Structure 1
Amino acid sequence: MVSPLPGRRSTLKTISRLRLPTTTIELAISDILKKRSLYCTESDVKVVRFYETGAASVLKLEEIESQKPGSGEVSLRVHSLGLNRAEVLFRQGLYLEKPVLPARIGYEASGTVEGVGEGVTGLSPGDYVSTIPAFSQSKYGVYGEQAVVPARFVSTMPGSLPPNEAASVWMQYLTAYGALIDIGCLSKDQHVVITAASSSVGYAAIQIARDAGAISIATTRSGAKKDRLLEAGADHVIVTDSENLIARVKDITGGKGAEIVFDAIAGPIIDELAKAAAFEGKIFVYGALSLERSPFPLRTALSKGISISGYTMFQITKDEERLARGKKYVLDRLESGAFKPVVDRVFPLDRIVDAHEYMESNQQCGKIVVSCN
């Protein structure tokens, strides 16, 4: 086995600390770089990895050799990262996918294609793209200056969309699209309750409801977020810490209840949401922010014919035809201006720990972005 050689930056830092004659240093550098050229031809890149699950502090920014794409893959020079709650759960060891340590992390990135692997068509070096979050984070995590990802989960993006917004598209819009449009068939004048509406997925759901001509009822625990949700296009906002959810929904809907409920919380609130739903209403549970047990409201479900479904975006991304329809739906509306990603705050890459801690504080309204420039 050949021992890994140090990166260029670390090599120069190490040698500079030694008090050696200039000629000796030059010869040493030349010899090391010749040996390195046997193994790689690219420069070092910074990426984020973690070696144990836990708090945000487990995330480490490290230098590794630049990677080349394999068959069916593309390499990207990353511009921006869009953060998601899924990555916090992944870092904690609580996500659907368990990390294989040491693990890469991250689902969403915008950037420029650097290289394409064997068998890749439709993408070329220089293309402006973003990633669709439907791959293993352990293997393909995008946090860093460079990412290598499966080509089928890379989409070209409109040049008019800034990098921070391009990194804030697919998780939120495809998640909301799948439940509300692909499965739920949300239509004009229907009511949709959107819980945890200040999240990026919540903002996307508000925009999708408006585009469909439906009436959005956003919920939040924080009264401080009410005005921002109304500014984002929500037709109604319920502050659940101070208002009765069931009574307010009944009042807004004229006593009928909401035809669709799009829920990121689960836990005990499921019972309230079932009571707030319309006859034969549909409840899509796509998250479990409460981390408490979610008792099934059997009596309410039986009396009203309600359906309560677990849902993830992967139901869309695993089916090529459904994914293609979803991509077209989102891209058409991005280009027309009907959809616009809302960026809450931008952090530099070397503050990735702070970015994760900010997400866990639940202060954000919209997407948290990390710039890799």
Structure 2
Amino acid sequence: MPRVVIFDEFGGPEVMHVVEEALAEPAAGEVRVRMEAFAVNPLDQMMRSGASPAPVPLPQARLGVEGTGVVDALGPGTTGLSIGDPVILTAVPDANVRGSYADYTTVPASRVVVRPTGLGITEAAAVWVAFSTAYGALVEKAGMRPGDHVLITAASGGVGRAAMQIARQIGAVPIAVTRHAAKEDELLAAGAAAVVATDHADIVEAVAHHTGGTGADVVLDLVMGPGQQDLLKAARPGGTLVAAGFLDPRPAPFPAGPPLTVFSYRSFEHTLDAVVVKRMAAFLNAGLRLGALRPAVDDKAFSLDAVVEAHRHLEKGLHAGKKIVVTTS
């Protein structure tokens, strides 16, 4: 019987376990996807531990907002896809019910896109959440343009790396922010035009230096918390800050300082919009063809039966900001 990862209580990785469940039939307008691989995301960790911003009903909650596989069955009236099509999941807002940590999942047909040609299974499993979040925040929300100086926090993480690549593809100038100067060479190699290490430099002064004194046109804040005040000061008057992360759970004071446009962003805002998803997929496909976009994947892949170990790998930071992938076969 097909396997699925569930958890019945909140806690550490050990609360997850693999069970067998009957194969579900897709409803009208849905597809059933035979999963080949999925990525482990911080949101999965938050759901599992009880720290998710949205409630997670227990018991038998599922996990997984990202993955790739092959269309295995079509529900009544489903069009535009065929059995055997390789696809990527684009949105799983009800991951506690349809999560990708499984051999199979059913989703509305509008929530998958055809897997880009030439993209391997592990990369396909790890590409969508990071790149759609970064694209949605920077392009759709902030209106990033060529020549913009873009300040990116948590730059060594999956979304941060994707944001640097997307900025480069647009013709913008990505400035990476990290807490550790030891990551500077790695971030430059990943696409940063400049790196600000907050353990060695004042972020406001450093950004002024890298922007010729004008400040950042766009700030992508993937951390939040009290540190956001320094980011606001590093932006130019009239610039834009997009708060798209939650790595620091402490309150972020009400924005003060230069006049800015401030947005709060969550990826489902766009990944549930079929028109925007079409633009996202076209942008991603173009970037992949040109070699401008590529997901950073951890060297170690895990099997479904080792999903607990995969989460421990995430919590220990052994993935160095790269996506952790679990394969189902």
User: What is the TM-score with the length of structure 2 in the denominator?
Assistant: 0.95
1 CA distance for matches of 2:57 and 2:139? 34
1:129-148 aligned at under 5 Å gives the runs 129-148=87-106
Does 2:127 correspond to 1:169? Answer: yes
Q: Could you say which residue in structure 1 is the equivalent of 2:307?
A: 352
Q: Could you say which residue in structure 2 is the equivalent of 1:24?
A: none
- How far did residue 365 of structure 1 move? 2.6
1 CA distance for matches of 2:18 and 2:181? 36
The question of whether the paired residues in 1 share the 8 Å contact of 2:110 and 2:274 is answered with no
SS at match of 1:289: coil
1:315-326 aligned at under 5 Å gives the runs 315-326=269-280
Does 2:292 correspond to 1:334? Answer: no
- Decide which structure has greater helix share: 1
Does 2:35 correspond to 1:78? Answer: yes
2 CA distance for matches of 1:326 and 1:212? 13
- How far did residue 179 of structure 1 move? 1.4
Does 2:190 correspond to 1:232? Answer: yes
- Larger RCO, structures 1/2 (Cα 8 Å, 6+ apart): 2
In the alignment, structure 2 segments of 5+ residues that lack a partner are: none
- How far did residue 46 of structure 1 move? 1.4
The question of whether the paired residues in 2 share the 8 Å contact of 1:99 and 1:137 is answered with no
Q: Could you say which residue in structure 1 is the equivalent of 2:213?
A: 255
- How far did residue 257 of structure 1 move? 0.7
SS at match of 1:282: strand
The question of whether the paired residues in 2 share the 8 Å contact of 1:284 and 1:309 is answered with yes
Compared with structure 1, are the counterparts of its residues 350 and 241 closer, same or farther at alpha carbon in structure 2 (3 Å cutoff)?
Answer: farther
SS at match of 1:324: helix
Equivalent pairs, count: 326
The question of whether the paired residues in 1 share the 8 Å contact of 2:150 and 2:217 is answered with yes
Q: Could you say which residue in structure 1 is the equivalent of 2:172?
A: 214
Q: Could you say which residue in structure 2 is the equivalent of 1:127?
A: 85
Does 2:52 correspond to 1:95? Answer: yes
2 CA distance for matches of 1:67 and 1:289? 35
The question of whether the paired residues in 1 share the 8 Å contact of 2:111 and 2:272 is answered with no
SS at match of 1:344: coil
Q: Percent identity?
A: 38
The question of whether the paired residues in 2 share the 8 Å contact of 1:206 and 1:233 is answered with yes
- Aligned amino acid, residue 139 of structure 2: I
2 CA distance for matches of 1:113 and 1:73? 10
2 CA distance for matches of 1:296 and 1:63? 48
2 CA distance for matches of 1:305 and 1:134? 36
Q: Could you say which residue in structure 2 is the equivalent of 1:369?
A: 325
Does 2:72 correspond to 1:110? Answer: no
SS at match of 1:168: helix
2 CA distance for matches of 1:88 and 1:241? 27
SS at match of 2:298: strand
The question of whether the paired residues in 1 share the 8 Å contact of 2:175 and 2:193 is answered with yes
SS at match of 2:321: coil
Does 2:157 correspond to 1:199? Answer: yes
Runs of 4+ in 1 over 4 A off after TM superposition: none
Query: Which structure's CA Rg is the greater one?
Result: 1
How much is the aligned-residue C-alpha RMSD, in angstroms? Answer: 1.5
Comparing 269-278 with 217-226, greater Cα deviation is found at 217-226
2 CA distance for matches of 1:115 and 1:71? 11
The question of whether the paired residues in 1 share the 8 Å contact of 2:7 and 2:16 is answered with yes
Could you give the per-residue CA deviations for residues 280-299 of structure 1, whole angstroms, max 9, x where no partner exists? 1111011111110110132x
The question of whether the paired residues in 1 share the 8 Å contact of 2:304 and 2:327 is answered with yes
Comparing 223-232 with 112-121, greater Cα deviation is found at 223-232
- How far did residue 357 of structure 1 move? 2.0
- Aligned amino acid, residue 319 of structure 1: D
- Aligned amino acid, residue 351 of structure 1: A
Could you give the per-residue CA deviations for residues 283-341 of structure 1, whole angstroms, max 9, x where no partner exists? 1011111110110132x0xxx21122211112212333222222222222223322111
The question of whether the paired residues in 2 share the 8 Å contact of 1:169 and 1:341 is answered with yes
2 CA distance for matches of 1:83 and 1:72? 27
- How far did residue 141 of structure 1 move? 0.5
1 CA distance for matches of 2:87 and 2:289? 14
In the alignment, structure 1 segments of 5+ residues that lack a partner are: 1-43
2 CA distance for matches of 1:331 and 1:96? 31
Q: Could you say which residue in structure 1 is the equivalent of 2:226?
A: 268
- How far did residue 358 of structure 1 move? 2.0
Q: Could you say which residue in structure 2 is the equivalent of 1:297?
A: 255
- Aligned amino acid, residue 273 of structure 2: D
- Aligned amino acid, residue 371 of structure 1: T
1 CA distance for matches of 2:191 and 2:106? 36
User: What is the TM-score with the length of structure 1 in the denominator?
Assistant: 0.84
Compared with structure 1, are the counterparts of its residues 224 and 361 closer, same or farther at alpha carbon in structure 2 (3 Å cutoff)?
Answer: farther
Could you give the per-residue CA deviations for residues 14-65 of structure 1, whole angstroms, max 9, x where no partner exists? xxxxxxxxxxxxxxxxxxxxxxxxxxxxxx0111000011211111111222
- How far did residue 151 of structure 1 move? 1.4
